[in-house]
Structure 1
Amino acid sequence: MKAGPIWALGAMSGTSLDGVDAAMVLTDGETIAEFGPHAYRPLSEAERATIRAAFGRWPGDPGVEAAAEVIERAHAELLARFSGADVVGFHGQTLAHDPGQRGTHQCGNGALLAEVLGTAVVWDFRSADVAMGGQGAPLAPFFHFACAKWAGATEPVAFLNLGGVGNLTWVDPSFSTPETPGALLAFDTGPANAPINDLMQARLGRAQDEGGALAATGQVDEAAVTRFLDHPYFFKMPPKSLDRNEFHAALQVVDGLSPPDAAATLTAIAAASVARGAEHFPRPVTRLLVTGGGRHNATMMRELATRLSCPVEPVEAAGLNGDMLEAQAFAYLAVRVMRGLPTSCPTTTGVPAAVGGGQISRPSR
């Protein structure tokens, strides 16, 4: 690849199943030179249902091929709107994640996308990390490190992504590279939007609690929150990661509650899980920057502010785009893969040594 910063196009479809994000970043794989255009392609309810039916399934299982076709078509439609990308970072759709046993499964064929788009595609970002004994997640921390540098941070900050699952990245921007010991600590905190979305779908036939409006009318069952935090996951030391469905018991915790009280309690559970995670920070942070769909949930943001002892702000407060940060992360990581740089390290995924993941597929024409 040519020297210096190049334009990379990244795409992300999260476990909350709202849609596909795509965004461009000008980067050399180390620093961020510029953020470029971005776009979003919502998933239809039929498409969501097809993907949801394949959750928890592995390659070759029933329903996986149909889910992959939906993901490939949605990504191809969205990514074709862009021009000028030297490389595409394609995350795919996580269907199952079991790093200790069966591995990790992101459906969607990057080689097929390379042919459709006529551009090199980096994909299957997590498998190499898992094969070496890592958790394979979260993978955005190296990008969060670059974002902290770009934003001019000099003291520790934390990034909280609230997708289907929540994950935290603690960043000390005084270090020169993200893989340097002490620069990063990252891990999944617990459930975030996924149980709330599942509750809304099951009880009210709605995709989500828009803005946290339903939760705002309910009462939090603090006893249920406390019981939930007895889950063994919260007693594990990071790095650690989760599958979207690992906390399906969250819905059982609120079974006897009205929809408003159940939504309020699940929202509080997500925030309390983050607060429990923050206890692992090596040093206190000056601010916690929230990205992902959960930052649009005003009730969630209030719960976070109540349960944490640092300022809680959307990443827009640092000049970043919280709707596109995950897509931008895979654009950035694609360049790192192309240039042979690591994408994870012991303090982000628990992998024994810094490792670069990802397959590279180039178009035949």
Structure 2
Amino acid sequence: MALMRAIGLMSGTSMDGIDLAEVTTDGDGTVERGQSFAVPYEAAFRRRLEAALDTAGSIEARSDRPGDLAELEREITIRHADAVEAFLKASGIPREEVGVVGFHGQTVLHRPRLGLTVQLGCGQLLADRLGIPVVYDMRANDMAQGGQGAPLVPAYHRALASSLTGAHAAARPVAFVNIGGISNISYVGGDGTLIAFDCGPGNTLIDQWVSRHAGIPYDSGGAIASEGRVLHGLAMRYLGLPFFTAKERMSLDRNDFVLPEDGAAGLEDGARTLAFVTAAAIAHAQQHLPEKPKLWVLCGGGRLNQAIVADLNVATRHTGAVVLAEEVGLNGDSMEAEAWGWLAVRSLKGLPLTYPGTTGVAEPVTGGVLRTPRTEEGGPAGEA
């Protein structure tokens, strides 16, 4: 297959900003990872996104945009366009060499039991402003075919697993763990078996906890948690929830877990306990795998929380090694953005994005919606 240069865009459940990454790929086993970039959201805009989660709770159809969600969707799209422009300028990537942009948008509602997922972001507006084709809305077809619409990155993780070199090249099974707002795992077996599912809360509870009690967006490096102790009673209230005791794995929404009530813990103990819950939820995922991983590759912002990593090392000490993505030559910050560029190319070629072992769909299915820049006949560029 011919190679295509793509830019992937990701704004995840942590709602901390836009990650951008360049990949050159055939949408299959050939992946040449390029430059990456990040544009953080300011605190006021993050608060608007968080408020949008409440507004989105009334959505009954994917096209619904109650309240100010339509206005917010346009702003999110323009911010992504501006981020791409900044990336092109900083990286020196010629616009005409970019074949496609993979656009995730901002998830504000994900209800797999209802077959409903909503990502704010207008693919046509983005294509018009950039003058580059855009593939977006990559979860919808999976859900229309009976899948949960998440996670979508595992197929990319499998492609990366085949590129590992050195001491870790032959380590199988390997588990890629993305610790974003929600944690998810991608299991790649020695025979290429691919299994993936959400593990539980990643950073979302920790971020909300320190924001409420310390007025800061996240616990940098786990510094606050390092001053606390694990409150096992509180931890068990989370780990005893039906999500963890059920045999069926369900994809999660940021709002599926609620903060401890005020007074349940002090700042440091709360941060430490919630970090423990994140690590315990990841380790618990082994119960749903055919074999215990010999290698755990951590990516996403949570890999930098030393309390989470330390607890996961303890929980998996009898099975496999825990390493950060950078230790195996990968980029733990840009991996999801890379995946969205890779998935966009894969979508253009009609290749599967999801599988029975990743989203529960009956058979492998492709997905995504292509939008090309409009000519003057199609409408003036920049309209939503």
TM-score, length of structure 2 as denominator length? 0.89
Q: In 2, distance between residues paired with 1:27 and 1:173?
A: 23
1:174 to partner: Cα distance = 3.4
1:120 to partner: Cα distance = 0.7
Deviations 1:131-181 (A, max 9, x none): 111110000000000000111434210000000000001012533xxxxxx
Runs of at least 5 residues in structure 1 that lack an aligned partner in the other structure:
176-182
Candidates 255, 260, 283, aligned match of 1:251: 260
Matching of residue 317 in structure 1 with residue 333 in structure 2: no
Select the structure of larger CA radius of gyration.
2
The one-letter amino acid paired with 1:168 is I
Q: In 1, distance between residues paired with 2:352 and 2:312?
A: 32
Candidates 168, 188, 209, aligned match of 2:185: 168
Q: In 1, distance between residues paired with 2:214 and 2:67?
A: 28
Q: In 1, distance between residues paired with 2:330 and 2:46?
A: 28
State the match for 2:160 in structure 1.
147
State the match for 2:344 in structure 1.
334
Q: In the superposition, relative to structure 1, how do residues 340 and 95 fare at CA in structure 2: closer, same or farther (>3 Å)? A: same
State the match for 2:44 in structure 1.
46
Matching of residue 13 in structure 1 with residue 26 in structure 2: no
Q: In the superposition, relative to structure 1, how do residues 147 and 11 fare at CA in structure 2: closer, same or farther (>3 Å)? A: same
Matching of residue 67 in structure 1 with residue 72 in structure 2: yes
Confirm or deny: 8 A CA contact 1:5 1:33 kept in the other structure.
no
1:46 to partner: Cα distance = 1.4
Confirm or deny: 8 A CA contact 2:78 2:126 kept in the other structure.
no
Confirm or deny: 8 A CA contact 1:18 1:43 kept in the other structure.
yes
Deviations 1:269-304 (A, max 9, x none): 111111111221211222100000001111111111
Q: In the superposition, relative to structure 1, how do residues 358 and 40 fare at CA in structure 2: closer, same or farther (>3 Å)? A: same
1:236 to partner: Cα distance = 2.7
* Partner secondary structure for residue 113 of structure 2: coil
Q: In 1, distance between residues paired with 2:131 and 2:263?
A: 49
Deviations 1:14-38 (A, max 9, x none): 1111110000111101023311111
Q: In 1, distance between residues paired with 2:180 and 2:31?
A: 26
1:119 to partner: Cα distance = 0.8
Candidates 286, 294, 299, aligned match of 1:291: 299
CA-based RMSD of the aligned residues comes to 1.4
Confirm or deny: 8 A CA contact 2:184 2:198 kept in the other structure.
yes
Q: In 2, distance between residues paired with 1:192 and 1:47?
A: 21
The one-letter amino acid paired with 1:292 is G
Q: In the superposition, relative to structure 1, how do residues 173 and 144 fare at CA in structure 2: closer, same or farther (>3 Å)? A: farther
The one-letter amino acid paired with 2:305 is N
Confirm or deny: 8 A CA contact 2:115 2:148 kept in the other structure.
no
State the match for 1:31 in structure 2.
29
Q: In 2, distance between residues paired with 1:241 and 1:255?
A: 30
Bigger Cα displacement from structure 2, 69-78 vs 4-13: 69-78
Q: In 2, distance between residues paired with 1:219 and 1:191?
A: 19
Candidates 147, 152, 156, aligned match of 2:173: 156
User: How many residues are aligned here?
Assistant: 354
Deviations 1:165-212 (A, max 9, x none): 00001012533xxxxxxx111000000100111111111111011110
1:102 to partner: Cα distance = 5.2
Bigger Cα displacement from structure 2, 337-346 vs 278-287: 278-287
Confirm or deny: 8 A CA contact 1:164 1:191 kept in the other structure.
yes
Confirm or deny: 8 A CA contact 1:114 1:120 kept in the other structure.
yes
Q: In the superposition, relative to structure 1, how do residues 118 and 173 fare at CA in structure 2: closer, same or farther (>3 Å)? A: farther
State the match for 2:355 in structure 1.
345
Bigger Cα displacement from structure 2, 257-266 vs 275-284: 275-284
Q: In the superposition, relative to structure 1, how do residues 30 and 255 fare at CA in structure 2: closer, same or farther (>3 Å)? A: farther
Q: In 2, distance between residues paired with 1:206 and 1:162?
A: 19
State the match for 1:179 in structure 2.
none
Confirm or deny: 8 A CA contact 1:127 1:357 kept in the other structure.
yes
State the match for 1:180 in structure 2.
none
Deviations 1:234-265 (A, max 9, x none): 123354210011011x433x742110000000
Candidates 256, 262, 284, aligned match of 2:270: 262
Q: In 2, distance between residues paired with 1:70 and 1:291?
A: 28
Matching of residue 273 in structure 1 with residue 290 in structure 2: no
Bigger Cα displacement from structure 2, 76-85 vs 6-15: 76-85
* Partner secondary structure for residue 224 of structure 2: helix
Bigger Cα displacement from structure 2, 295-304 vs 61-70: 61-70
Bigger Cα displacement from structure 2, 300-309 vs 38-47: 300-309
State the match for 2:131 in structure 1.
118
Matching of residue 76 in structure 1 with residue 81 in structure 2: yes
State the match for 2:382 in structure 1.
none
Deviations 1:279-332 (A, max 9, x none): 212112221000000011111111111122321111111110000000000000
Matching of residue 200 in structure 1 with residue 227 in structure 2: no
